[in-house]
């Protein structure tokens, strides 16, 4: 009886974990497609680190959370910002110098792992977000995979297949337990007769 409760408890935990995995994967795929890039969550953008320029602060393949918006002239030396280097390139580097000229603010930036500062200063209007300090190592590889057609299809199908398989196993176990109870009760009836 005690082992049955343990098995049922483990079964419930596995069901919950698989269901949460399905919900998370749906969120990642839908959020990535809706935003046209990295997913967004509670006002934060999740960016994938594609180079080692900021190691050891965050490693290549990590996902970092950045907070967009606000006054982009507020940053100081030491802050880590995400900015547009050009129309297609987004970079996250640390500010090493702030230059103010009237209403214009220029940031000199440098990757923590780079020997020299970036060649071009960053205009405050090109800054899109500030790094929040939240990093998940290696998750970026997974998110990049989800943005491919094969990745999207796999992430929508795989959790469903896992849940279906687990349901079949659970039903099979339940039927086996019912068969055993029926068999045991028939045996006890035959013995008493």
φ, ψ (nearest 5 deg) of residue 48: -95, 135
Rounded Cα distance between 58 and 126, Å, is 22
Pairing type for strands 90-101 and 63-68 reads unpaired
Q: Is 167 a catalytic residue?
A: no
Cα 173–176–182 angle (5° rounding)?
145
Rounded Cα distance between 178 and 173, Å, is 9
Catalytic choice (3, 31, 51, 167):
51
Query: Residue 95's closest CA among 72, 122, 134, 129?
Result: 122
Location of structure tokens 């749906």? 26
Does residue 56 have a cis bond before it (omega within 30 degrees)?
yes
Let me know: does 118 contact 108? Beta carbons within 8 Å.
yes
Active site residues: 51
């Amino acid at each position: 009886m005690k082992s049955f409760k343990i098995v049922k408890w483990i079964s419930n935990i596995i069901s919950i974990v698989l269901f949460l995995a399905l919900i998370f994967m749906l969120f990642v795929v839908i959020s990535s497609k809706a935003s046209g890039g990295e997913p967004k969550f509670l006002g934060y953008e999740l960016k994938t680190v594609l180079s080692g320029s900021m190691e050891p602060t965050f490693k290549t393949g990590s996902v970092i959370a950045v907070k967009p918006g606000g006054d982009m002239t507020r940053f100081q030396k030491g802050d880590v910002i995400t900015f547009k280097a050009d129309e297609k390139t987004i970079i996250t580097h640390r500010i090493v110098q702030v230059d103010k000229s009237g209403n214009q603010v220029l940031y000199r930036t440098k990757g923590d792992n780079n020997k020299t500062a970036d060649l071009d200063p960053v205009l405050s209007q090109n800054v899109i977000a500030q790094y929040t300090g939240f990093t998940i190592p290696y998750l970026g590889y997974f998110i990049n995979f989800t943005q491919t057609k094969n990745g999207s299809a796999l992430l929508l199908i795989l959790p469903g297949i896992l849940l279906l398989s687990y349901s079949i196993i659970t039903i099979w176990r339940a039927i086996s337990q019912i068969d055993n109870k029926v068999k045991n009760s028939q045996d006890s009836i035959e013995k008493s007769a």
